[in-house]
Copies of this chain bind each other. A is one copy, B any other.
Amino acid sequence: MRLYDCETAPSPRRVRIFAAEKGIELERVPVDLAGGEQFSDEYRAVNPDCVVPTLELEDGTCIGEVVAICQYLEEVYPEPNLLGRTPAERASTQMWNAKVEQQGLWATADAFRNAAKGLKGRALPGPDAYEQIPELAVRGRARAASFLEKLDRQLDGREFIAGALYSMADITALVFVQFAQRLKIATPENATNLQRWLEAVAVRPSSNA
């Protein structure tokens, strides 16, 4: 299996960590997002949304979207489990993954894409050109900061975000928290639950993937 990837982007990092936790070796194909390679005809044939990651299977099937890729990898390599062991655990993992995406990761994406000088006219990923909306960058920073506090509350008395086990929700949250740090949206000093969790998950070998 091949992973179309970019070292610096948050979304493919989620898949790299997920695969590393399972010990899956993926052939990595770098896509030069800064150079616009995602808009090439070759890459549009792989993923018409012009985004990474994409997982290409042996038969040529291309899977986009992190949740779809991770679900596929979980089915093909079930251990260690990262999506939950019971229907209720799986629901909690999906729920928290969705919350972290929508309230955390997409907020940092708004903050980044609507402010970066190199992304003028490209405020959204994908083939269509949209102008930056500076108010959206401001709102994204506020939402991300608010969600860091929510994660701290969720981690009060819990080792991991979605339940007793490390899961996809922790991976998405780690990528969110560290991307927020890159944007100078700091993890609050008094968010002791979040700090404790971050120290634990950031030292897992997978976090270097």
- Residues in chain A within 8 A of chain B (CB atoms): 49, 57, 61, 63-65, 67-69, 71-72, 75-76, 87-88, 90-92, 94-95, 98-99, 103, 124, 126, 128, 130, 133, 135-136, 139, 142-143, 146
Contact = CB atoms under 8 A, between A and B. Distances in A.
A88 B65 contact: no
Contacts of A135: 133, 135
A94 B65 contact: yes
A128 B61 CA distance: 41
Contact of A128 (B67, B126, B128, B143): B143
B95 A63 contact: yes
A95 B130 contact: no
5 contacts: A57-B88, A65-B99, A67-B67, A68-B92, A75-B90
Given A98-B68, A133-B136, A63 B76 contact: no
Nearest to A110: B136
A95 B76 contact: no
A156 to B, nearest CB: 13
A178 B87 CA distance: 31
Contact of A130 (B68, B92, B99, B139): B139
Nearest to A138: B133
A133 B140 CA distance: 12
A67 B94 contact: yes
Nearest to A128: B146
